[in-house]
């Protein structure tokens, strides 16, 4: 059985909801998944096949707690596959933002890792309630993970 942990933080709840969906999807595929809130927990302990790290974007930046978690666990994370997702709404502002999200939002987390992540993915966040784009993004992200590990979805 594959074992994963989702390390996330949130201000208004959407990244927590999304992390729960990712957990549910992977568990349906037979994975064992735990959730860990950055800021509450500082040290990554246990044996994992995958660490998923997720942060919302506020004022152009991922949350400090998530960045600090990566910094504090930099050595441990260099020996485990890491997948990153950023919850944001920048894609609402036009097609030019795709590369912007990648370099600016995802890059801000990616550059803290010693070894490159296996997958990075932007997920559409929300202000009041989630829409179809979020669901689609979460499905795509999980599919990339399962493809990487050679299972079907
Ligand atoms: C005050 C505020 C600032 C935000 N700044 C950004 C931003 O700079 N770029 C972006 O793409 N989305 C921005 N967003 C959208 C959030 O990333 C989105 O609402 C996300 O779902 C929030 O995650 P959370 O519910 O886990 O805290 C902002 C939202 C708020 C409320």
What are 125-139's pLDDT values in tens digits? 999 999 999 999 999
Q: What is the pLDDT of residues 1-58, one digit of tens each?
A: 999 999 999 999 999 999 999 999 999 999 999 999 999 978 999 999 999 999 999 9
Q: Does 91 map to a domain?
A: yes
- Domain range for 143 is 3-148
Ligand 1 pocket: which of 11, 17, 21, 58 to mutate (most atoms <8 Å of CB)?
Answer: 58
- Greatest alpha-carbon pair distance for the chain in Å reads 41
CATH code where residue 115 lies:
3.40.50.360
Instruction: Single out the residue of 48, 10, 50, 20 nearest to residue 144, CA to CA.
Output: 50
Q: Does 140 map to a domain?
A: yes
Res 91: pLDDT? 85
pLDDT: which is higher, 98 or 85: 85
The pLDDT-based confidence of 93 (bands split at 50, 70, 90) is confident
Q: Does 153 map to a domain?
A: no
Query: Which 8-state DSSP code applies to residue 104?
Result: I
108 Cβ inside 6 Å of ligand 1: no
Res 151: pLDDT? 65
Mean pLDDT of the chain: 95
Gap from CA of 144 to ligand 1 centroid (Å): 24
How far, in Å, are 55, 65, 103, 109 from residue 96 at the CA level? Answer: 21, 28, 12, 21
Res 153: pLDDT? 47
Gap from CA of 58 to ligand 1 centroid (Å): 5
Q: Which atom of ligand 1 is nearest to the CA of 16?
A: 26
Q: Please work out, in degrees rounded to the nearest 5, the angle formed at the alpha carbon of residue 66 by the alpha carbons of 112 and 18.
A: 120
Domain count, the chain: 1
Gap from CA of 46 to ligand 1 centroid (Å): 31
Gap from CA of 78 to ligand 1 centroid (Å): 29
Q: Does 121 map to a domain?
A: yes
Query: Which 8-state DSSP code applies to residue 39?
Result: T
């Amino acid at each position: 059985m594959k074992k994963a942990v989702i390390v996330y933080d949130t201000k208004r709840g959407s990244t927590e909801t999304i992390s729960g969906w990712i957990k549910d999807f992977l568990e349906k595929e037979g994975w064992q998944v735990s959730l860990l809130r950055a800021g509450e927990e500082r040290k990554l302990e246990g044996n994992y096949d995958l660490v998923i790290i997720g942060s919302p974007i506020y004022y152009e930046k991922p949350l400090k707690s998530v960045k600090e978690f990566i910094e504090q666990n930099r050595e441990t994370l260099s020996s485990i596959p890491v997948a990153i997702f950023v919850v944001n709404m920048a894609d609402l502002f036009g097609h030019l933002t795709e590369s912007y999200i990648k370099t600016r939002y995802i890059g801000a987390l990616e550059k803290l890792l010693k070894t490159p992540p296996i997958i990075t993915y932007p997920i559409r966040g929300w202000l009041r309630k989630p829409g179809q784009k979020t669901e689609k993004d979460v499905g795509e992200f999980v599919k990339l993970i399962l493809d990487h590990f050679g299972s079907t979805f």
